[in-house]
Amino acid sequence: MLGLRWSNVDLEQEFLTVTHTLQRVNGELRFQPPKTRHSRRTVPLPSPCVEALRAHRAAQGKQRLATGADWVDEDMVFSTTVGTPIEPDNLSRSWYTVRKVLGDPPPRFHDMRHTCVSLLLAEGAPPHVVQQIVGHSAFDVTMTIYAHASLDEKRTALRRLGDRLA
């Protein structure tokens, strides 16, 4: 997310392309290629995300005008108030404030990714599609990390089996 540039977002066609990540390497922020070839991917955007990104882009444009000549144009979707990439540790610190509001136990920022995958699977998205959305290199990675069946899902599966055997 912190490495996403506007040039990798197409709000008209409603997709984004993951081409690099932002990481701290030897004390400096660097754009790095994704970990695997599967991590480099195009992801369709649901309408609420498109609308949120449009609103964010407009707000960022106002910030850019207010900042004037001090704005550093690095084309970042998520940037500091002067346009530079966000330091990952600063995101973590900001998230800590949000975590307090969200309750006990407070979710980690990365937990939003887990929630997204779990919801996609719960909504019946085919696991191989979910694998491609999140950029896992192997199907079993997605299923090992995220495929936790709820009691209701187990009941439904066994009810269907029982119906078939009856």
Least confident of 1-5, 39-43, 150-154: 150-154
The structure tokens 């939003």 sit at 112
Distances in Å between the Cα of 110 and the Cα atoms of 54, 113, 121 are: 23, 6, 17
Least confident of 17-21, 53-57, 143-147, 154-158: 143-147
Tens-digit pLDDT profile for residues 52-104: 999 999 999 999 999 999 999 999 999 999 999 999 888 888 888 887 887 76
pLDDT at residue 108, rounded to an integer: 77
Q: For residue 123, which of 40, 15, 46 has the smallest C-alpha distance?
A: 46
Structural domains of the chain ordered from first start: 1-103 (1.10.443.10), 110-166 (no CATH)
Q: pTM of the predicted model, to two decimals?
A: 0.77
pLDDT above 90 (res 49): yes
Q: In the numeric block, which tokens belong to residue 34?
A: 């994704």
Residue 4 sits at φ, ψ, to 5 deg, of -75, 130
pLDDT at residue 93, rounded to an integer: 83
Residue 103 sits at φ, ψ, to 5 deg, of 110, -165
Which residues, at least 6 apart from 10, have a Cβ–Cβ distance to it below 8 Å? Answer: 16
Distance CA 153, CA 166 (A): 20
Q: For residue 19, which of 87, 37, 83 has the smallest C-alpha distance?
A: 37
pLDDT above 80 (res 107): no
pLDDT above 70 (res 149): no
Least confident of 26-40, 101-115, 145-159: 145-159
| N residues, the chain | 166
